[in-house]
Structure 1
Amino acid sequence: MRVLQLIDSLQVGGAERTAVNYANLLSVEIEKSFLCATRLEGALKLALSEDVEYLFLNKKRTLDFKALKKLNDFIKNHKINVIHAHSTSYFFATLLKLINRKIIVIWHDHNGNRLFSNKSHNSVLKSCSYFFNKIITVNEDLKLWSEQNTLTKEIYCLPNFSVLKGEEKQVTNLKGNIGNRIVCLANLRHPKNHIFLLEAFFKATEFMENWSLHLIGKNFNDAYSNELNKFIDSHNLQDKVFVYGQKQDVNYILNQSDIGVLTSSSEGLPLTLLEYGLAKLPIVATNVGDCNKVITNKREGQLINSQNVDAFSKALLLYINDSELRKQHGESVYKNVKINFSADNAITQLISIYKS
């Protein structure tokens, strides 16, 4: 079996990390593993295993026939028989299927926000789905959505998993006081709802000292990030909230942190929570998507309604004021992630889907 992971870019994000993880892990399980970034490269290129053969297309437009020919030639030359297309790369995979009907195309949906989108927004996806052999989703809600809104018959749910590398370069030294750091791993964009987090953190500052909040994720320097900067300035949080941008040394960052948070308004199954779990961090997160599969009870973390700033602030204070509780809940969520979201289980299931 020779499988190519197809992804738009290698910028740091959940779908991108999943594509890289699959490519790396499959490289020791199947005949040959490949990864193709169609539009942009990025920091995750450095995370690719030497055993994964890599192709960058530098696609310039939606209908880039030069890039399409380049990929089709690559597939033929390397006798690739499965294309695993992640997120929006499904359109390019469909074009490929039209000129190479022998390949198997599998689309992987990571977008929890799709549940709230209208039919017209997904009209192209529905048309393309006629050419998908199978669909994989990251949670059961997305699986149900695909069953009701696509033309693909074989649809599977495969939960995410995460891999934290201990041998990464230790570059990012977090500011603030040791033992008093809250971390949020999420690119600065709307579904991650950072303004909610800032509001909750600000409410908590009235009852705490020396704690700081650390935002790790790509900064697009747009209206969204400007809104966050204005909030930080207007509430005098410059010495308590720190924005770092995109970082690679995630394991090192989490080892310097004491509480993990995520305030998304929509999710699939966020890799961020799995990474917090592997780092044994107690978690406060909004109850969206499949976050409740990672935090299954109040011994593994705190799940809060995505509209309730006061409740989120109180949940932060619960951990801030009880170091022993932080330790206990961190251990509990670690056990859940290790048992139910292991890389070995995910790869075994994935290969089974490829072969089915």
Structure 2
Amino acid sequence: MNKPLVEHNKISALTGTRVLQLIDSLEAGGAERVAINFANALVGEVEGSFLCATRAEGLLKSSINSDVGYLYINKTKTIDFKAIRRLHRFVKDHHITIIHAHSTSYFLATIIKVLKPKLKLVWHDHYGKSEFLEQRPKGVLKICSYFFNHVFSVNSKLETWAKQYLKAKSVSYLPNFAIKNKIASTTNLKGEPGKRIVCLANLRPQKDHLNLLQAFKDVLKTHPDWTLHLVGQDFKDAYSKSVFKFINTNQLEYNVFVYGSCPDTSAILSQCTIGVLSSKSEGLPLALLEYGLAGLPVITTDVGDCNLVVSNRQEGLLIPSNNSLALEKALLEFITNPEKAKLASSTLHHKVELQFSEASAIKTIKAIYQSILV
């Protein structure tokens, strides 16, 4: 059931601006968390903040602020006339002035813009394979981009790509920001406290869990009491099967634990000792910012804009992708040097709070909204 809309009495700098965040699902992914973070943070900053899930709900629904007007349209195919009518009616009834579409929801947003030409359309590009942009399909996106009033790109490579290939009126880089969710802890991690490594990433090939598993397997030769915790959606596909096969074949069942999607990520990170990402490709991963906000020492591969977050060894360990030996050495460096790990976690925590804050991102977003409404 859709949440009732709560009208806001607070006078905002953007009086009359009513913004709908559009996202495909509410599963526990990075783009989904960003869309909800924006909807929640804009409450009181604009006249009305709304969120629509088009294809599926999910674990993150419970983290939507009660003051956010919420809609779920159950879109089941590319051109779903019933879903289009529901969204169009919602936009009209609630006097939406801006649709802020995330990831692949741009297509539906473009249809609504065609039906309601005065509507402003912002597209937020979260594309996670920024190391392989030459393979990115762009035909439909390029056509739709004629209707985009602005594009937000989550890293500098995507910003350059959008300026080169798309026809949007303007493009800018907007780094993600992380917040500590307030969902009560429901996930109790296995393993010994103080010896837990976490990887917050859905089971997708670009996240390269197999590289991490190989590195961790070698770490266990000298530190058999440490555990690895994989948190993220399991799509039950060939890649997922390869992850579980590696765990079983190498008899890691007592040291590696897979949890699937979990809504209580902040509570999970508070139980961990080291945060790691072993990706082949990234944008600017929200998980990396969440590690920093949680005060974890971080190890990440040098892909996407990860090097903007971890830019030196005082902030964490930046390693080449697809290199299990480098990852093993980095894990051992933090495991055997807890003081170094503590310093890195403190330094990164301060940087994330300062440079990747909610206040900074919302200030930028509001400025763009204001500029396109003129």
TM-score, normalised to structure 1's length? 0.98
Q: Identity rate of aligned residues, in percent?
A: 51
Deviation readout 1:176-219 (Å, 9 max, x if unpaired): 11110000000111111111110111121112131000000111
Which residue pairs with 1:171 in the alignment? Answer: 186
- Aligned with 1:282 (options 297, 319, 328): 297
Alpha-carbon distance in structure 2 between the residues aligned to 1:127 and 1:38:
21
Which residue pairs with 1:273 in the alignment? Answer: 288
Which residue pairs with 1:68 in the alignment? Answer: 84
Which residue pairs with 2:357 in the alignment? Answer: 342
- Aligned with 2:259 (options 244, 258, 279): 244
Alpha-carbon distance in structure 1 between the residues aligned to 2:130 and 2:357:
26
Alpha-carbon distance in structure 1 between the residues aligned to 2:131 and 2:143:
18
Alpha-carbon distance in structure 2 between the residues aligned to 1:273 and 1:170:
20
- Deviation at 1:112? 3.5
Which residue pairs with 1:292 in the alignment? Answer: 307
Q: Does 1:54 align with 2:70?
A: yes
- Deviation at 1:322? 1.4
Amino acid at match of 1:65: F
Kept in 1: contact 2:131–2:304 (CA 8 A): no
Q: Which runs of 4+ in 1 moved over 4 A?
A: none
- Aligned with 2:316 (options 293, 296, 301): 301
SS in 2 for 1:80: coil
Which deviates more, 143-152 or 202-211?
202-211
Give the direction of change, closer, same or farther, for the CA distance of 1:106–1:116 in structure 2 (3 Å limit). Answer: same
> CA RMSD of the aligned region, Å?
1.1
Q: Does 1:41 align with 2:90?
A: no
Q: For 1:12-161, what aligned pairs fall within 5 Å after superposition?
A: 12-114=28-130, 116-118=132-134, 121-161=137-177
Kept in 1: contact 2:278–2:321 (CA 8 A): yes
Deviation readout 1:237-289 (Å, 9 max, x if unpaired): 11100001111111111111000000111111000000000111001111000
Alpha-carbon distance in structure 1 between the residues aligned to 2:249 and 2:86:
51
Gaps of 5+ in 1: none
Kept in 1: contact 2:131–2:303 (CA 8 A): no
TM-score, normalised to structure 2's length? 0.93
Which residue pairs with 2:366 in the alignment? Answer: 351
Alpha-carbon distance in structure 1 between the residues aligned to 2:305 and 2:188:
31
Which residue pairs with 1:8 in the alignment? Answer: 24
Alpha-carbon distance in structure 2 between the residues aligned to 1:78 and 1:47:
22
Alpha-carbon distance in structure 1 between the residues aligned to 2:228 and 2:107:
39
Kept in 2: contact 1:115–1:142 (CA 8 A): no
- Aligned with 2:226 (options 211, 217, 220): 211
Alpha-carbon distance in structure 1 between the residues aligned to 2:193 and 2:92:
54
- Deviation at 1:332? 0.6
Kept in 1: contact 2:63–2:183 (CA 8 A): no
Amino acid at match of 2:210: I
Alpha-carbon distance in structure 2 between the residues aligned to 1:21 and 1:28:
14
